Structure formats: structure tokens, C-alpha cells
Amino acid sequence: MIDSPDALKELLPNVSRETIEKLAEFREMILAEDQNLISKNDKNFIWTRHFYDSLRLAQFITSNGNDIIDIGSGAGLPGIPVSLLFSSKNKVFLCENRPKRVSFLNKCIVNLDLKNTEVIPIKVEKIENKKFDIILARAVSQLNHLLSISYNICKKNTTLLLHKGVHIDEEIVQATKYWEFTHVLHENEREKGSFILELKNIIKSIT
């Protein structure tokens, strides 16, 4: 499949033309950056890998009025595509502490007119007095560490939606030594060994 807007539209027919146009602008911003926001090889798969991976989270974000945080947002993936998709229905926060990435994300917010989006320019574990309904993370860290750094921003009913790879079973086993949770694994139909891990009811175990 050739990487293109039409390819993404074929994979996700419900994505609007307006969203596709905004994603095209976002893609150009990623490619124009001097800093390496994504790998050289991945620049050939922005539509069918990065944007598709980001937007397939939408099926698990069913209600409006959520506060959503993208941990370690980096290039804004998956946070910015999710923000574009939901427009004003949910508030999206991009958590990123690296100054050059923060600058890029703020530029994206302005250029793409993302009124429902803002950057939190610190590490997630340093966030105080703010909790979120949905937590997103892509290529951030192993599950046990991710739960450790994000537990302070979890509500009782918070859902975590995490992109994970072939070692996810091992990560879950390790995490259950320290945490209790319910989870569902959603495999990517296009890429074997690529999953969205949906986590809920997170409780820190007493050890």
C-alpha cells in the first residue's frame, strides 16, 4: 500500500476530508523540522503507520468532555491526530519536556488551529493537581514504569490506551507484580505483533 492520504482513507473510511487536509499540513510540518521527530525510514510511512496508529485509538474514546493526555508526545503522535479527529469534543494535553519538541508542538497548535489542545512542558510525574480521563502513550517506556510515572494523574475511572509491541505479554506479567488492573489487547490487523493495550481499574498493589 502506497503511503498517501487515499491509503489512510481506505483504512479509516470515516475520517473526514477536513481532518485529512489538516493531517497533510501536520505531515509537512514534521518533514520540514530540522530535529529528527521520526526515523528516516518512517518518513515514508507517516500516513499508513503513524497517522493510522494514532487514529485507530478513536474507537476506544467514545464519550465527549474528556481530558486526554498524550505522555511523551514527541512529534505529537498520537496526540495531535486524536485532537484533530475530536475537534472541540475533548481537551487534549501534550506532555513533553524536551524544549525543542515543546516548541514544535506549540507551533503545530497554532498552525493547525487546535483550540482544544495545549502543551504541558514538564515530565508527567511532575504534574500536580491535575488528573485525566484518558492517558495515551506511544513508544514511551515499559508498562510497569509507565504506570509508576502516570499513577499520580489517574482518576478512579481513568482509561490508558497504550501502543505496544511483541513483548507486551512479558510487560504485563512484570507489571502485575506491582499493580492490579483489567486489560484488553487489541491487535493491529495490518501489523502482527502491534497492539493497543487498553487498561482500566488501576490499583497499586501493597508490597
Q: What does the buried/exposed string (b/e) look like for 144-160 if buried means 16 or more CB atoms within 10 Å of the residue's CB?
A: bebbbbbeebbeeebbb
Decide if 124 is inside a domain. Answer: yes
Decide if 147 is inside a domain. Answer: yes
pLDDT at 89: 81
Taking only the tens of pLDDT, the chain with its 207 residues reads 799 999 999 999 999 999 999 999 999 999 999 888 988 888 999 999 999 999 999 999 977 889 999 999 999 999 999 999 987 789 999 999 999 999 999 999 999 999 999 999 999 999 999 999 999 999 889 999 999 999 999 999 999 999 999 999 999 999 999 999 999 999 987 788 889 999 999 999 865
SS (H, E, C) the chain: CCCCHHHHHHHCCCCCHHHHHHHHHHHHHHHHCCCCCCCCHHHHHHHHHHHHHHHHHHHHCCCCCCEEEEECCCCCCCHHHHHHHHCCCCEEEEECCCHHHHHHHHHHHHHCCCCCEEEECCCHHHCCCCCEEEEEEECCCCHHHHHHHHHHHEEEEEEEEEEECCCHHHHHHHHCCCEEEEEEEEECCCCCCCEEEEEEEEEECCC
The C-alpha atoms of residue 197 and residue 66 are separated, in whole angstroms, by: 19
pTM for this entry: 0.94
Decide if 33 is inside a domain. Answer: no
Decide if 171 is inside a domain. Answer: yes
pLDDT at 65: 87
We report the CATH number of the domain holding residue 90 as 3.40.50.150
pLDDT at 101: 96
Range of the domain at 189: 63-204
Decide if 153 is inside a domain. Answer: yes
pLDDT at 64: 83
Decide if 188 is inside a domain. Answer: yes
Number of domains in the chain: 1
pLDDT at 63: 75
pLDDT at 192: 82
Decide if 14 is inside a domain. Answer: no
